Chain A
């Protein structure tokens, strides 16, 4: 049976990494947080740029995302800083349900002196770092993987080969009892009838159709011509002509299993299996939504090349385009131009990709990790008060 080596968390989730997360919960403490993380080599730093005046969907999404980053199983411990205790206390209380060590220090407790906050945080963070360094990887079943499925700077090779390859992996992990999530609602346009058929219930079928209609109507209301926007200039240069063509390639990433729910941005799925996230298409936002929902490993296809990776969850980059393989060697963790050319079948190449997934889940680095291309980018939905 295929297994990987992961970090078992107190709540039973399994991390494929063991990060100390330095989390600045408000834009006010961003620079201080960066300074703190630089003093703690190996820590990952996430700064939430917004706080006061957030409304409705933004308010919910920011809280949900902050908590989600904290409880993501790739995080071993959290050092959180921010402005005031009430918000930090709420976030820390929610994150503590994971059973992991969470320390929060507010500016209010430091008399709003960034140097005091820096000193106290470095001491607290160092202690956390030492503590999580004692954790060891153990053998875990593939059911403990939660895949986030993304594509970026796609071209027709994505829809023909790389996305169907992700679909095979999604099916495999779902069949093992794990989880997978795909998003990018705009890229369901023209393919929504095929996705909706896979809704586990009539309500989910309808939710998929409603999500697409919502995005299509918003594009029309904004006076946006999708061609040139999505597909964007790189997609068009690569050979994609319309959103329908792009979508039909995109949804291949989701494989063939039933869709168990339509999630809001950053919402954690309530069950195992495959889930759809009604969210932004732009890769940095989309992937952060997956990570906040609990995805511990990201599979990211590209046609023309895309250097971006997620910070909290390792991101395996795959392309089938032979020209791209020749161009960006230190970006692509897996290439299969031999499948594109027809020398090897998708099914025959799949075990090689699964082996890489298991290696990376067990600690082997991705190019994006080695080069430090990771970032978290959280969606906004409207203006602030």
Chain B
């Protein structure tokens, strides 16, 4: 979290960023990856506290936040698109 940034990437290896305000499709958002300032055009709306991917990911990829795997992509997701229960899934307590 840093003043004036629109989203936070908690660890430079993370694919998932968290929105620090309500973000709109088509707007340019600013965030840092490590010390590196980055910009991205939002593909979808992303509400405050919700997540988006910072790069294109393909179905089956493991996705990280806090530098730790928190989900698998259940479909391909474009950079700047909302990543949530509709397109990412838990990898734990999965029914056999």
Contact = CB atoms under 8 A, between A and B. Distances in A.
Contact of B95 (A194, A223, A245): A223
A243 B92 contact: yes
Interface in A124-174: 155-157, 159-161
Contact of A242 (B4, B49, B50, B89): B89
Nearest to B96: A220
Interface SS of A by simple majority: helix
- Measured as residues with beta carbon below 8 angstroms from the partner, the interface class of chain A is 35 or more
A227 B89 contact: yes
B68 A339 contact: no
A248 B65 contact: yes
Interface SS of B by simple majority: loop
Contact of A321 (B49, B83, B93): B49
A241 B18 contact: no
Contacts of B88: 241-242
Contact of B90 (A155, A226, A303, A343): A226
A244 B18 contact: no
B20 to A, nearest CB: 7
A156 B49 contact: yes
A245 B65 contact: yes
B88 to A, nearest CB: 6
Given A241-B51, A242-B88, A342-B2, A248 B66 contact: yes
A343 B20 CA distance: 12
Contacts of A245: 65, 70-71
Nearest to A216: B93
A340 interface: yes
Interface of A: 155-157, 159-161, 189-191, 194, 216, 219-220, 223-227, 236, 238-239, 241-245, 248-249, 303, 321-323, 339-343
17 contacts: A155-B49, A156-B49, A159-B66, A160-B18, A191-B68, A194-B68, A220-B96, A227-B90, A236-B85, A241-B51, A241-B71, A242-B90, A243-B90, A243-B93, A244-B91, A339-B1, A340-B1
The 8 nearest A-B residue pairs measured at CB: A242-B90, A239-B49, A239-B50, A245-B70, A342-B1, A244-B70, A156-B49, A342-B3
